[in-house]
Structure 1
Amino acid sequence: MTTPTPTPSPSRPPTHLPPAAPLTGVIEGVYFDGRSSRDRVATLRVLRGGEDLAVLRVQAEGDAAGSEQQWPLRALHFDPPLPGVRRVVKLPDGGRFETVDDAAITALEAAGGRNRGPRGVRRLESNWPLTLGAVATLGLFVWGFLTYGLPAVARSAAAATPRSVLASFDRSATEVLDNGSFMGQTRLGAARQRQLQQGFRDVTRWAGGGYPYRLLLRDGEPEGSMGAIGTNAFALPGGTVVMTDQLVRLARDDRELLGVLAHEAGHVTGRHSLSGIYQGLGLTLLTTAVTGDLVSASTFAAAVPTWLLKNGYSRQAETQSDEVAGRFLMERYGTTKPLRDVLARLDTEDAEADENSVTQDDPGSFLQTHPGTAERIRHLREIEQNWGKKR
């Protein structure tokens, strides 16, 4: 079978070659005519003269002589190199020449000033010291972004999230919490509930911020639950605070509970829940803050309770909220001891414990994302000791 000779391109120069044109080298490869997937053996060489010419010789089956085509070297297009892939030269007639002789094609590129950028990248990739340095630099950048950049972006996104989206978060998260897996209806008497609700209103009036605060009193250990939240209190992004019956019973007086509620109000006004969740669940969720997409917000809110209960707050968030609670307790009672004592009981799970029961944190606590109880107790003591000096 004889393969037709490729049709000459209109832009092809005359077949006459410049005199005394030295052969710079023959590059072996294959030719595709652009109309079929069949390849044919071919060679490419460059003739130097008044105008550098690329001479393509195609060897067809049964045709020992083959056929030749010529184009100005500047009319050829060289695809950037890819590791493990044959080099490709695109021809003006729509065909292509492919070869494994990367060095020869690279030399042609350099002679014609082609693909300077890709060739520079390739040189960098082949330089191991530079490559390792680039990897190390990238690693430092990623570490810096995750340590400083992402928290900053998350805080900014949390601050910019509309109140309507926060309200949607709270509604959806409460529905998840009240499905029986995490908590059940409170077993506290009506009078006790009214007493705690009044105390909560007192705290939130002091905290301010204009949030639609509400206190949900719930049983943290409902019968048959596998994921009960137990003795706990936490704040949802929009101003909803959950406190369990077990925590109420653990407290020795209501000053301790009001200290806990002031701490949670600090998380609300600081938008700590939202920034922590944005940071923990990834940058893709930050679009909710920008678009105000309530459908996305509702879907996202389903993950809020689990994230809060599993991960808690950052060191910075806990410290800031302890400072809020410390100010409230100092203004109302002149001491931060109520919160220090209840924190110790929560940490030790001992109803008889007080602040002196927790003297030091786990040696590895400095690696944790949230502060240890002993560290928090020391900070609350410092707030009390320095109170008079700041006023």
Structure 2
Amino acid sequence: MTTPTPTPTPTSQSLAAPFAQGVEGVYFDGRSSRDRAATLRVLGSGDLSSGAPLAVLRVAPTDGEPGSEQQWPLRQVQFDPPLAGVRRVVKLPDGGRFETNDDRAITALEAAVGRNRGLRGVRRLESDWGLTLGAVVTLGLFVWGFLTYGLPAMARSAAAATPRSVLTSFDTSAIEVLDNGTFMGPTHLSAARQAQLQREFKDVAQWAGGGYPYRLLLRDGTPQANGDKDSPAPSGSIGTNAFALPGGTVVMTEQLVKLAHSDRELMGVLAHETGHVTHRHSLSSIYQGLGLTLLTTAVTGDLIGASTFAAAVPTWLLKNGYSRQSETQSDEVAGRFLMERYGTTKPLRDVLARLETEDENADENSVKRDDPGAFLQTHPGTAERIRHLREIEQNWPQRRGK
């Protein structure tokens, strides 16, 4: 609406002088993309935040179109937040917009009428390199703290809250993936040898407790394609290994059985794996590694989602293993079992050395020290684990009552 030009009155002392005199810019009517030169100023007196002053827009004439002047109560005018390198935008009640490069004048008007107060603080932060650098460092520390402490804590909580029925589903789906011939194949151990190991594992499972439906699966860790002995094992085969799934299923390969010098060594390995089950290391490690989106599975008990999720379980466990804390905690479990059953942790120390050196004649003395960069690794080195197991044995009288 075009109105007569109001008689200027003294402007508020809180308003910057440039705006009282008029700020140059361009006007868009909201109906076309054509811009027209325009001037915006404020007329009125008293407190600008009261809404009494008027915003007056004067649009310059162009070829074929006369000039015009419009005015609105200042309280009806909106200000877009500032963006670096972009003209300031004033939104008008009629759907049009006024744009100007005079950031100082718009900022002064915003301050006078009390608009975008919170954003002014953000803008000061963006324009101050010291504060910006500090904010980046603070954000980096937050992200580091979340990944180092927050996410693991959330993963452990989610693992603890996961229903047993979901754990069973994880195990079932994971074994289906593992038994596809890529990771492992049927064992060639004799029925008598398998029965012997199952009886001995039953004792370990009863000792471990926790109410889990433990079961031991014996498999060939280097299966040949189509049973052809002359064909190489698949690249993804698990080899000489043992690992636990979240629901209490423990897989041990016949290659590990053959590497061991005694069943005491094997039971030490299996006791270590039950430690991963009872402390839910497998599940928390997978939750942490695969991300926050999968944590909802623990809360919802979504068996469809659990089945899909379980397909990632074997690959994650075999590729990434456990954290230092988890391995140390499970070695504590295995150490207690070995001390209570045999009075020594040497069986596990020896078989760990053979797994490390891939030498069937190695023992704990074959691993002298860890790689110099081992302290940077997420998993404890074998030498460190052997030292820990020795300490358990040496301090057993004090540890036994705990």
Give the aligned partner of residue 101 of structure 1: 102
Moved more, 221-230 or 122-131: 221-230
Superimposed CA distance per residue, residues 291-349 of structure 1 (whole angstroms, 9 cap, x where no aligned partner): 11111111111111111111111111001101111111111111111111101100000
Give the aligned partner of residue 24 of structure 1: 20
Query: What is the distance in 1 between the residues matched to 2:201 and 2:66?
Result: 97
Give the aligned partner of residue 85 of structure 2: 84
Give the aligned partner of residue 71 of structure 2: 70
Give the aligned partner of residue 218 of structure 1: 219
* Residue pairs, 1:1-391, within 5 angstroms: 7-8=1-2, 15-19=5-9, 24-49=20-45, 51-62=52-63, 66-224=67-225, 225-390=234-399, 391=401
The CA deviation at 1:15 is: 4.6
Moved more, 94-103 or 22-31: 22-31
Give the aligned partner of residue 14 of structure 2: none
Contact 1:18/1:49, CA 8 A, preserved across alignment: no
Moved more, 252-261 or 77-86: 77-86
- Could you tell me which amino acid in structure 1 is paired with residue 87 of structure 2? R
Contact 1:54/1:72, CA 8 A, preserved across alignment: yes
The CA deviation at 1:28 is: 2.0
The CA deviation at 1:46 is: 1.9
The CA deviation at 1:75 is: 2.2
Contact 1:218/1:243, CA 8 A, preserved across alignment: yes
Query: What is the distance in 1 between the residues matched to 2:128 and 2:262?
Result: 69
What is the number of equivalent residue pairs in this alignment?
A: 381
Unpaired runs of at least 5, structure 1: 1-6
Contact 1:212/1:238, CA 8 A, preserved across alignment: yes
Unpaired runs of at least 5, structure 2: 12-16, 47-51, 226-233
The CA deviation at 1:19 is: 4.1
Query: What is the distance in 2 between the residues matched to 1:176 and 1:270?
Result: 24
Three-state SS of the structure 2 residue aligned to 1:276 is helix
The CA deviation at 1:126 is: 0.4
Superimposed CA distance per residue, residues 234-277 of structure 1 (whole angstroms, 9 cap, x where no aligned partner): 00111110000000000011000011000000000000011111
- Could you tell me which amino acid in structure 2 is paired with residue 148 of structure 1? Y
Superimposed CA distance per residue, residues 130-179 of structure 1 (whole angstroms, 9 cap, x where no aligned partner): 11111111111111111111111111111111111111111111111000
- Could you tell me which amino acid in structure 1 is paired with residue 330 of structure 2? S
Contact 1:24/1:48, CA 8 A, preserved across alignment: no
Query: What is the distance in 1 between the residues matched to 2:266 and 2:358?
Result: 16
Moved more, 58-67 or 136-145: 58-67
The CA deviation at 1:60 is: 4.4
The CA deviation at 1:25 is: 2.9
Three-state SS of the structure 1 residue aligned to 2:224 is coil
Query: What is the distance in 2 between the residues matched to 1:19 and 1:353?
Result: 98
Query: What is the distance in 2 between the residues matched to 1:267 and 1:16?
Result: 81
Question: TM-score normalised to the size of structure 2?
Answer: 0.91
The CA deviation at 1:39 is: 2.7
Superimposed CA distance per residue, residues 187-239 of structure 1 (whole angstroms, 9 cap, x where no aligned partner): 10000000111111110011011111111100001114221111000001111
- Could you tell me which amino acid in structure 2 is paired with residue 47 of structure 1? L
The CA deviation at 1:18 is: 4.3
Query: What is the distance in 2 between the residues matched to 1:209 and 1:306?
Result: 26
Three-state SS of the structure 2 residue aligned to 1:321 is helix
- Could you tell me which amino acid in structure 2 is paired with residue 196 of structure 1? L
Contact 1:47/1:55, CA 8 A, preserved across alignment: yes
> Identity, % of aligned pairs?
80
Query: What is the distance in 1 between the residues matched to 2:311 and 2:9?
Result: 79
Contact 2:5/2:69, CA 8 A, preserved across alignment: no
The CA deviation at 1:85 is: 2.6
Query: What is the distance in 2 between the residues matched to 1:123 and 1:329?
Result: 64
Query: What is the distance in 2 between the residues matched to 1:284 and 1:135?
Result: 26
Moved more, 204-213 or 90-99: 90-99
- Could you tell me which amino acid in structure 1 is paired with residue 119 of structure 2? P
